[in-house]
Amino acid sequence: MTVYELVFNIPSDPHANDEVKGHSSRAFLTDLHLIDMPATVILGAQWGDEGKGKLVDRLAEQASWVARFQGGNNAGHTVVIGDRVLKFHLLPSGITRQECSLILGDGMVIDPWVLHSELENWIETGGDDPKGNRLFVSERAHIILPYHRAMDSLDKTIGTTGRGIGPAYSDKINRIGLRFGDLAEIAYDASWAQSATERMNRSLEAAGSDVRIEVESLQEEVQWIHGIYESSIANTGLMLDNALKLNEHVILEGAQGCLLDIDQGTFPFVTSSVTSRGNATHGAGIHPGHVTDVIGITKAYITRVGNGAMPTELEDAAGEHLGTVGHEFGTTTGRKRRCGWFDAVVMRHAHRINGFTSLALTKLDVLGGLDELKICVAYELDGAEITEMPSSASALARCKPIYMTVPGFESKTLEEWLVVARHANENGLGITSLPQPAQDYVRQLESLLGIPCSSVGVGPDRDATIDCN
């Protein structure tokens, strides 16, 4: 009998098999040392674009699974390996690790054409074809269709990516969406295509769009999706649960950031899903007791793409420095990111929602060359000092940052920073390898937030990250 069979085929009658006679299922698992291994959650702690992809890529070296649990191709992860720059929108960052299996989870909305293009690009650059081998798509994940992109293109207020994310989630909430697990049932059902097309065209007309969906095209598209992904569609929540019971390490990879959470973010300038810790296990199809480590990713400053208030936004030389040195352009849209000083009010809110066990601080190197650095510790709202974010978008727009100022530190080239990081890790030096003002800046952030830093990023390369002791 294999270990897998021992774990998952334990008889309900303890007398039915001498191998487990006299043992409860729980005691039997304990004897085998197969108690669930904790999963690690990686979350953006600001407005997204914090560097989650780089961290997941590093941690995936020690993981068996990486699972996305929400969002769609409105996310963008960049991984730099030497001269190779990899950009992913749907594929989990762990794809660079051949021994790592990948999950597109229950809570996602997935554009099948974008995923297909991303897979083809991966294969063309020397990667494997992971479909049905180490890439699995949840049967519960919803499908983004051309209709959803057409509806999203009408947005003139929120500043969405136009990828169809919001309309797909809207169909999900309205219980009319299409899931990957439904494809086998409806792919060749002409009546489904007819009724779906009529509903979509009524919505498009009411919204003022000139786009119309054709019945034949919709049916062909659904059949294509089914044919391409049939081998990959699976009960991925069960797969992850089984993996954890087999003591395999699972990373749950978030998209966007806490401040874009539909409930806890800067509404209405948010995404259409729950981006926070509470949805990590739910969106992956496993229970929350699996998680003990929650790493919040935060830049050493702050950025935002799209509309909505950002109290520490800079429109001066310092802001230009952050945008230029940090190459602040969105991975998904290419839009220029708005830059500002580190905002501890935002981070306190993110920590309250997520309960970070540690922080991964990224892009500390970008601050190099600035004479002084500012950290927002509170806001002034209508003449009063507040230390927590208001829920109202208009009130947040009236908030003025209250800063503390600390000394800056010298700039280095990316190669010099990479040398610093490698030397630190090879000798177990942690952040003591950094210039003293940079060390002080990191310690100040830890003190203000009450959260330790587990790593500090000093460049885009995979190895340009200092592990903290």
Sign of CA dihedral 335, 52, 160, 333: positive
CA distance 76 to 57: 13
Residue 49 annotated among the catalytic residues of the structure: yes
Catalytic residue among 13, 18, 33, 49: 49
77 is catalytic: yes
| Three-class DSSP category at 207 | helix
> In 246-314, where does DSSP find H-type helix?
277-282
Closest CA to 216 of 185, 193, 182: 193
Burial degree of 141 (CB within 10 A; 0-12, 13-18, 19+) = buried
DSSP summary character for residue 269: S
Contact between residue 340 and residue 310 where contact means Cβ atoms under 8 Å apart: yes
Q: Which of 77, 226, 249, 349 is catalytic?
A: 77
Single-letter amino acid code for the residue at 400: K
Residue entry with tokens 């500012």? 374
Rounded CA gap, 331 and 340, in Å? 19
**Nearest Cα residue to 68 out of 224, 211, 316, 250:** 250
Q: Output b/e per residue, 149-188; b: 16+ Cβ within 10 A.
A: bbbbbeeeebebbbbbbbbbbbbbeeeebbbbbbbeebbe
Which of the residues are catalytic? Answer: 49, 77
